[in-house]
Structure formats: structure tokens, C-alpha cells
Chain A
Amino acid sequence: MSGAAVSFRGVSKRYGPVDALADFDLEVKPGEFMTFLGPSGSGKTTALNVLAGFTHATAGEVMIDGRSVGGLPPEQRNVGMVFQSYSLFPHMNVFENVAFPLRLRGVAKAEVARRVGESLDMVRLADLGGRMPKELSGGQRQRVAFARAVVFEPPVLLMDEPLGALDLKLRQAMQLEIKRYHAQLGCTIVFVTHDQGEALALSDRIAVMGEGRIAQVDTPDRIYDYPKSRYVAEFIGKTNILTLEPGNAGAVRIVELGCDVPAQGALAEARMISVRPEKIERAAGRREGLIDFTARIDEVLFLGDLVHYSAVLPGGGALLFQEHRGPGATVLARGDTIELGFLLSDALPVSGREAAATAVGA
């Protein structure tokens, strides 16, 4: 089985005055793992429902494998789907649940048994074919739902917050499983989640969504390293947003730090910069080019290999930074005053709304 391309061309969905999805353009490559990431109400589920055929777009075109599917009911789109609540049929046992799409497609009895067996093998539930859904654990149900969604080898697999109902440990285990299935099956996966960690871990590319629009589409590392907007920067990982204003001749002023920096390149035009917490370090070494400032430690979150700090800036704002515990590194305490700094090259100009708050974690 191989994946099919999925295209959204100018897709909009209006509910009365509300744009659930506006001018949605996206090309998903065959076999790609594409994640729609965003908070609730961002349009990610609407986009998925339009693709599955549960909702009809108000405008635009959806194509699977180059064929427009806008006029097709869900059952004719030949996509697999895994639901957040699993949606296993409670009156059928595991085998019958997985066999369901095959029986609808008129697959011969022996073939049904073989393919259901293969699918259950893949999700390591070969022995549980006779169980009823209510007799399974959450993780097992999730795997049955997956087996059912792929047993008929759909070129496109849709997953709607599939791990949302699982606890953290199970979720991490299932992420690895899903990666394995994807490698094994090669189908195109469109995955919807509000969990940025999940998105970063699984995806080939991520479409960050907000207010019915795509904020940015890119690979996980580029989304993380080069967020285009404050919205993306804040949604993916943790970051510090600092405000810029025109400073003395040829310089811009970082308002929260009260220092001027040279207005080189993009900084000249920018209103805000984003600095990731891990890019901020103790400034004791006086490294070349480091923008340094004094801050007072307010909160300490000790994670073993990592330490997260929240510090108060002289101007009153707060700043997040984190350190790996290298050899001989001391852990700072609440109330300590410390010199911090970051490289200007790690300060990324971002667009978006300005606000007094500086640090937001997603």
C-alpha cells in the first residue's frame, strides 16, 4: 500500500457568520505524515471533517490522489479514520470490528480472516479477536481502532486526536507505535492534535492552525526554530517574546531589557523577537556578541537533567530560561541575582499581536 496526495485548494467552511475554515490551501505529499496542530476552534477538525466527507466545504476543492472528492459521501472516499473516542462498535467483537470495512467491500470470507489477522498482528492483538470492546483497555481499544482503519489499505489515513484519551505513558508508547505503523504501511496520514509535543514527535510536516487559517506549514524543526509569528512561536514549545522599539541612531531598543542592539537585517523591521528558553545562558563567560542583562530568579523547576527557571527582569517582566546540568553547574535558588545573556542570532523576529506579557508556554 502506498499513500495518495491530498490537496486542499481554497477551502472555506462558514457556520453562519463564523469562518470555521478560511481559504485553506495545503498540499500533502503521498506517504507524508501531516499534522494539523492547533487549539480547539482553530479549524483543524473542520479541515479533517471536510476531508472525510462529514462536512461539505462552503467553497474550494478537496482532492485525493488528484481526484476531486467534494461530491463524494464518506464511504466512497476510501480513507481510513481513527476517532478520538475510538468509536469501536460495542455490539461487535474485535474481529468483527476490524472485519467491518472488509465485509462492506465484499471481500471473500477467507480473505477477510487473513487480512484481519494481519492487521491484528500488526497491532499485536492477534489473540484478542473474540473480545468485546468493553473488555479491552484504552490502549488496546486504540490499537483495534487503528487496525480497523487500515485493514482495507486506504491510501489516506485520518487520525482525530487519537491519543487524547490515553494517559501520558501510554500516549508516548502509542506515538512510537504509530510511527512504526506509518513506516510499515506507507500511507498518507493526516493527523489532528492540539498537543505540540505529539506533533513534533510524529510529523513529517506540521500545519499550525489558528482561527480557521494556516499560520505556518513546515517541518517540525523549522517550525520550532523559525516560527514566523508570535502565535506559532508560543504554540510550539516555550518562548520569550520581547518587544522592540526604535532606539538611538542605527539601533533598536529591547524594551523589557532596557538595552539597545544594532538594527541589522530583519531586526530593523521587527516589532517583536522570540527567544527560546534554552538559548538563554549565564553571562559569566562574557561570550562575544552576547546581549546581557541582570535578572532575579523567581521560580525553579528541577527536572533532573534539566532545570527550568523563571526570572524577573529589571523592567518587571518575566523571562523563562533553562539549563542542562553540565559538569559542575550549580543550581540557582529563588532570589538569586544573576547575569544572563543570549546571542542576537538566536533572537528571531516574529510578527503578531504585541502584548505586555512576555512568556507563554504551550
Chain B
Amino acid sequence: MLAFIRRTWLLWPAIGLLLVFFLVPSLDLIQASVMNPDFTLEHFERIADRKVYLAVFWRTLQVSLIVAFLAALVGYPIAYFINLQPRKTQFLLIFLIFIPLWMSVLIRSYAWMIVLGRDGIINTALLGLGLTEEPVRLLFTSGAVYFAMLQILLPVQIVTAYSAMTEIDMDLMRAARVLGARPWQALRRVFIPLSLDGTITGAIIVFMLSMGFFITPALVGGRQDMMLANLIEFQVERLNWSFASALAILLLLGTVLTVIVIRRLGNLITRRIA
């Protein structure tokens, strides 16, 4: 026992912090969702009964997956490009990529309104070129939601993928080349499989952040671009803590399960590619 204490005592503050700020609130959340005041599943029954909650849940999941996928797709070549630059340039580029992160989500969402709006840059150009008679509806669409969320979350993806890429020993690429691989073969069989893990981690972070989004979709999306977080916010505003907790658990479970699936799938793909 004493030996155990001696071996682990340095970890205790961290464990204590996790307990106080993560585990206890989580248990609190679970408890709140099934007590009113005695044990009941009424909140979960309500979620199952009213189609709005599951519909919005699936919608949230779908939006988050699409954004995560797009982020991985767009972020990968950017991270790759940065990784190829000299060290100094890399730092500069990463710094530049971080700049939008310091801007409030609200301001960035308004920025998209300026680009995509009726009198926005794109529509002005389309009208000016005579490509359309009436302004095209770009804003307040699901496409705008994906676009805006992608723009907001892309830095997270790029930085995660990039930092994983810097871990890759570039001698492996030379080894692949001298063993007979053309540049793209070396990329596909060595670099991509080795960098996929970091890219998937980035996509998972983007996915998790997306699951909690609600301001951006509300500002640039249409009436159907509702996120589960919007519904939770409403319940909190109404002080319906129990029901809010039940919805939060739905969100949490959905997120955790999906992350597990993405990981599994990612490992499968990595093995396939290699």
C-alpha cells in the first residue's frame, strides 16, 4: 500500500482535478437526467416520442460528420504543404492559420454573410457578370453551414494534422524512393498511411467541436439547420435541467460512439492503404 502511494502520489492532483471537474459533473448529469425526483425514464421517453429531438440529433450528427470529413479533405493538403516548407516558414504559416481562431465566432459568421449574402461579394459578381438575374440563395442554406463551420474549424484540423506530419521521419520517404517507389508511390504507401492517424485525430476533434456548435448554424443556416445544442440551450434557459441533461447525454453518447466508429474505420483504412 505504502509503495503504491509512493509510486502514484504525483498523479493524485491530476486525478483529483478530473474527478472534481469531469467525473462528478458527468455523474451529476446522468443522475439529473433520470431523477424527477425519483428514478424515471420520462425524459428519455420524451426524446424518443417527439420526433424533433432524434431528427435534430441525426441532423447534428450528419452536419458534424460532413464538416469533419471536409476538414480532413481540405486540411490534409494544406498541412502537407506547410510540412514541406523550411522550418521558419512553417512557423509563420501556422501563426497565420491561428489568426482567425482569435476572432469571435460571431464576427466570422457575419463575415460569411458579407461574402454569401444577397448583396454579398459572390452575388454581386454573379449579377455583374450576368450569370443570374436574381440573387442566388447562398446564405441560410445547409451549404453555408458546412462552409462557415469548415472555415472556423479548419485551423484545428490543419494544426493537428501538421503536428502529426512533423513526427514522420522523412528518411522513410528516401528509403521508399531508393527501394523503388516513385514520388507518389512513396507518398501513398508511406507518408499517407503514417499521417492518416493524425489527420483522423484532427477530424475527430473537429467532429466533437461540431457536435456542440449552434451559433454559426443559426446565423448562416436555414430553418432546418437546427443543432442539438440549440435545443439544449432552450431547455437551460427554461431551467429544465433534467431534460437538458437527458439531451446532453444523447449528445455525449452520440459523440462518443461516433468517435469510436471513426477510430475503428480509420485504423481499417490505414491498414488497407499500407
1/0 contact trace for A99-131 toward B, CB 8 Å? 011001100000000000000000000000000
Size band of the A side of the interface? Answer: 20 to 34
CB of A52 within 8 Å of the partner chain: yes
Q: CA A78 – CA B181 in complex, angstroms? A: 11
Q: CA A264 – CA B178 in complex, angstroms? A: 53
B178/A75 in contact, CB under 8 A: yes
Q: With A83-B171, A85-B169, A89-B172 in contact, do A77 and B194 touch (Cβ < 8 Å)?
A: no
B179/A81 in contact, CB under 8 A: yes
A91/B194 in contact, CB under 8 A: yes
Which residues from B are CB-within-8-Å of A90?
A: 172, 194
CB of B175 within 8 Å of the partner chain: yes
A53/B178 in contact, CB under 8 A: yes
Q: Most chain-A CB neighbours within 10 Å: which of B169, B172, B179, B270?
A: B179
Q: CA A54 – CA B175 in complex, angstroms? A: 10
1/0 contact trace for B239-256 toward A, CB 8 Å? 000000000000000000
Q: CA A193 – CA B83 in complex, angstroms? A: 30
A75/B190 in contact, CB under 8 A: no
Q: CA A74 – CA B182 in complex, angstroms? A: 9
Docked complex: B161-176 residues within 8 A CB-CB of A: 169, 171-172, 174-176
B194/A81 in contact, CB under 8 A: no
Docked complex: B3-57 residues within 8 A CB-CB of A: none
B180/A104 in contact, CB under 8 A: yes
Give the B interface residue count (CB, 8 A): 20
Q: CA A32 – CA B219 in complex, angstroms? A: 73
A45 to chain B, nearest CB (A): 12
B180/A54 in contact, CB under 8 A: no
CB of A61 within 8 Å of the partner chain: no
Docked complex: B64-106 residues within 8 A CB-CB of A: none
Nearest to B182 among chain A residues (CB) is A75
B179/A77 in contact, CB under 8 A: no
1/0 contact trace for B171-206 toward A, CB 8 Å? 110111111111101000110011000000000000
B177/A152 in contact, CB under 8 A: no
Docked complex: A48-98 residues within 8 A CB-CB of B: 52-54, 73-75, 77-81, 83, 85, 87, 89-92, 96
B60 to chain A, nearest CB (A): 34
Nearest to B173 among chain A residues (CB) is A87
A149 to chain B, nearest CB (A): 8
Which residues from A are CB-within-8-Å of B185?
A: 104
With A91-B274, A100-B189 known, 19 other A-B pairs at CB within 8 A are: A53-B178, A54-B174, A54-B177, A54-B178, A74-B178, A75-B177, A79-B178, A81-B175, A83-B175, A85-B169, A87-B171, A87-B172, A89-B172, A89-B190, A90-B194, A91-B194, A92-B274, A100-B179, A104-B179
Nearest 7 interchain pairs by C-beta = A87-B175, A104-B180, A101-B179, A74-B177, A74-B178, A81-B178, A87-B171
